[in-house]
Amino acid sequence: MLGFIGAPIFALLVTVGIGTALADTLLATGLPIMLLAFLVSLALRAAQGSATVAILTTAGLLSEAVVDGGYSSLQIVAITLAIAFGALGLSHVNDSGFWVVTRYLGLSVADGLRSWTVLTTVLGLAGFAGASVVWAVVSATG
């Protein structure tokens, strides 16, 4: 089993079938898989704070759609990057990394939100833009 705090959440989503129902609902929105991967991961990161849990949960939720989608290996790499960059953004008070940075640098919570949270979000968006370029190139050369 997965050896981290998010393992029970991940296992629950898989065992109970909530994950499949949620994935089906998300796919029904009609959003492209890249954008969906990024937004789900970003939302999970903001909601619970752990990038690791956000990445693994998003991967679990979208795994069936990715397998059924018939994507190439490089397209799957781009989807994986979108998930990872989504989990990078929106670091705030429920993230242990936020506290490490703010305390190490002697920042107040407000300063941490204005600097660290903005920085991680900009990096996540820039990374997603790069992953989208990879997707476009790979899809065009198909």
Q: Per residue in 32-67, pLDDT tens?
A: 999 999 999 998 888 888 888 889 888 888 888 888
pLDDT for the residue numbered 11: 65
Question: Taking 90 as the threshold, does the pLDDT of residue 121 lie above it?
Answer: yes
Cα–Cα distance measured from residue 94 to residue 97, given in angstroms and rounded to the nearest whole number? 9
Cα–Cα distance measured from residue 29 to residue 20, given in angstroms and rounded to the nearest whole number? 15
- What's the pTM value of the predicted model, to 2 decimals? 0.82
pLDDT for the residue numbered 81: 96
Q: Greater confidence, 85 or 7?
A: 85
pLDDT above 90 covers a percentage of the chain that reads 44
Question: Residue 98 burial (CB < 10 Å; 0-12/13-18/19+)?
Answer: buried
pLDDT for the residue numbered 3: 46
pLDDT for the residue numbered 2: 43
DSSP the chain: ---STTHHHHHHHHHHSHHHHHHHHHHTT---HHHHHHHHHHHHHHHH--HHHHHHHHHHHHHHHHHHTT--HHHHHHHHHHHHHHHHS---TT-HHHHHHHHHHT--HHHHIIIIIHHHHHHHHHHHHHHHHHHHHHHHH-
Question: Taking 90 as the threshold, does the pLDDT of residue 128 lie above it?
Answer: yes
Q: Tell me the pLDDT of the chain averaged across its residues.
A: 85
